[in-house]
Amino acid sequence: MSETLELAKQLIARRSVTPEDAGCQALMIARLEAIGFSIEHLRFGEVENFWARRGTDEPLYAFAGHTDVVPSGPESNWKYPPFEPTVDDGMLYGRGTADMKGSLAAMVTACERFVSAHPDHTGSIGFLITSDEEGPAVDGTVRVVEHLQARGEKMTGCLVGEPSSTAHVGDVIKNGRRGSLGGKLIVHGVQGHVAYPHLAKNPIHLVAPALAELAGAQWDEGNEFFPATTFQISNINGGTGATNVIPGELEVWFNFRFSTEVTAEELQQQVEAILDRHELDYNLKWELSGQPFLTPSGELVDAACKAVQAVTGQKPELSTAGGTSDGRFIAPTGAQVLELGPLNATIHKVDECVNVADLDLLSQMYEHILQELLLSSR
């Protein structure tokens, strides 16, 4: 059994359903301390985080990730118990194998080999690890980043271990992410009897044309790095449950995934202009989960591309597709940020799994990246 597989299994066996860490970070910390990392425990609220650093010089390149996982759902639906890591026909099964305990194990073993071979490497290596990525994400990476910024500690670059790959490990590197802007809309009407509609105002009828206009709008055309901004309605709730009552209120939840071609403020203004044009009586609460970010070609992206080619013989694709990640909290500091991890086909699903061989390939990629960044300048 490889070191990476063994460590991944140890992590998966810990039932770290968000925001619990369940001892995963202690396991990682012990391995990192053994190769010269200084550890800083950072607990915010009920969330366990840590910052580890080896070296004091610049540049500072860090690995970032999370030990928390989403709930497994009914364990009886799983082929194998989700917190009893099992290898079957070359696949490792368990909650968090792909998202993202496999990546965490690969990061640690990559550093162990790199430090063993190059104990006097230039620059510094960091680890930013949280247990609050799958949950509210308010006491995790964002708080650690604020803590580092307050004392002037700045990452040159950061590799997030999110599962980025599609068909084979390393085929896709995420060098950016779209922004996420959510809205909770409450449309007010007047409740009444369905047989006397002239005595009521149906908010469902009133808002329908506005929702159709919002759903059909083109917000931008995207650019060479980002697809066009999208608008999606995720929830509509209204009515009393009775068939003969016109509701007095309707609640609509929607979300934008937006490119760098438009700002959150511009989207808010356009939505509110449409609602006002339809003369609706409404309240609207906005939540900005993250701004879009992009890391263009540079030291980190180039090192990652070289690493994937060295290990797999194939050139990776750069992409900004998918949801948000904790990279959205790190990129605003000016750090180069990218995501490179295992296949994402089974993340958050029953029978989440990764190819065992992919874990070792991923660890080799991470080691090559360190070599490119911290040895090439010597």
Catalytic residues: 68, 133
Buried residues in 51-87 as b, exposed as e (16+ CB within 10 A)? bbbbbeeebbbbbbbbbbbbebeeeeebebebbebbe
344, with CB counted inside 10 A (0-12, 13-18, 19+), is middle
Nearest to 165 by CA among 156, 152, 174: 174
Instruction: Give Cα 310 to chain centroid, integer Å.
Output: 26
Check: CB of residue 192 under 8 Å from CB of residue 318: no
Query: Considering just the CA atoms, what is the radius of gyration of the chain in Å?
Result: 24
How far, in Å, are 29, 37, 41, 330, 363 from residue 50 at the CA level? 8, 12, 5, 15, 21
Continuous segment of H or E residues that includes residue 112: helix 102-117
Q: Of all residues in the chain, what percent are helix, strand and coil, respectively (each to 5)?
A: 35, 30, 40
